[in-house]
Amino acid sequence: MTIDLTRAAVYEREVSASLQRVWENVHDWEHLPWLHAQAFCGIELLDSGPWGWRARVQLTPRELDRHLVIELRCEEGAPTYHTRTLEGPGSGSDTRTTLSARGDHRTHVRVEFWIPEGEPSVVRATGDALVTLYTGLWDQDDIMMQRRQAFFEGRLGRVKPPPIRAAVPLGPDSTLRARLPYSVEVEGQRFRLRESEGQLVAHAALCPHLGGPLEEAEIVDGYLVCPWHGYRFSLTDGSNPDGRRCAMATPPRVEIDGTGNAHLVFESAEPGR
């Protein structure tokens, strides 16, 4: 059965990211319930390939238990991709997004919202709501894509552990705790010092996956949770418990010596050495 569609609205903008970064973002289904938690609270991948992806997405708020099955399809070399709602609210709609380069780090985005025909007032209201939603989604994506670019260019610091052979002094324990949380840079790598369950902990400020910001990342059951894709890393050894081939280097320890001074201790170092 063919559903007649009408164009409810058009949204246009530029983002401060290259066409390559934007296409990476288009294929990155994992980030939806993490970066865009205000709109989505869960996702289950059903199929994917060079053509795009299909997934069951849970809408926020979780307690309403609303789900969509959406399919994103693109063709190699074509500037436009389609995001179709196959099941759930808005079933039959087709969002058509066209991307065009405007420079090395600028991309023009044009989004057309095609929805099932209905009363003109309902169509207008739906179009307005979709423009508001997509404005927020692209705002967040723009920031993430800019940070990804900086990460790939090495402008956010190193991810591999620094070649430290001595403990790094942090000052008196009492002074350190009063400043928490805060960041410290060691040999080009930034670490975040925080308190977790009464203990001082240190962890990398960059997610090793795609450079996500971990400075304020949530700590759940001893694992650091990346706000971009939900990747988890042990605060003890940096391992990923979910079977992903992505792990963080073993974090340094924060140790207090006999004089009450704190030190950042790497695997090969001991306080005072």
Q: Any residues with CB less than 8 A from the CB of 92 and at least 6 apart, and which?
A: 3, 5, 84, 85, 115, 116
Give the H or E element holding residue 175: helix 173-179
Q: Measure Cα distances from 147 to 94, 143, 154, 227, 228 in Å.
A: 30, 6, 10, 13, 11
The pLDDT, as a whole number, for residue 273 is 36
Q: Say what the pLDDT of residue 156 is.
A: 79
Say if CB 252 and CB 271 are below 8 A apart. no
Would you say the pTM of this structure is higher than 0.85? Answer: yes
Q: CATH 3.30.530.20: which residues of the chain?
A: 5-152
Q: Mean pLDDT, consecutive 10-residue segments, the chain of 273 residues?
A: 90 98 97 98 98 98 97 96 97 98 96 97 98 98 95 77 75 93 88 91 92 93 95 93 86 92 77 39
Residue pair 6/98 in contact by the 8 Å Cβ criterion: no
User: Could you tell me if 116 and 92 are in contact, meaning their C-beta atoms sit under 8 angstroms apart?
Assistant: yes
- pLDDT recorded at residue 243: 85
Please state which of the four CATH numbers 2.102.10.10, 3.30.930.10, 3.40.190.10, 3.30.1330.10 is assigned to the domain occupying 168-265. 2.102.10.10
* Residues in Cβ contact with 73 at an 8 Å cutoff, skipping those fewer than 6 apart: 51, 52, 81, 82, 84
CA atoms within 13 A on the CB side of 232: 11
In the chain, CATH 2.102.10.10 covers 168-265
C-alpha to C-alpha distance for 21 and 140, rounded to whole angstroms: 14
Contacts 24+ apart (CB under 8 A), 177-184: 181/215, 181/216, 183/215, 184/264
Dihedral through CA 71, CA 6, CA 90, CA 98, nearest 10?
Answer: 30
State whether CATH 3.40.50.150 applies to domain 5-152.
no
Q: How far is the CA of 40 from the CAs of 12, 151, 161, 189, in angstroms?
A: 22, 26, 34, 33
The single-letter code of the amino acid at 93 is S
- In this prediction, residue 271 carries a pLDDT of 41
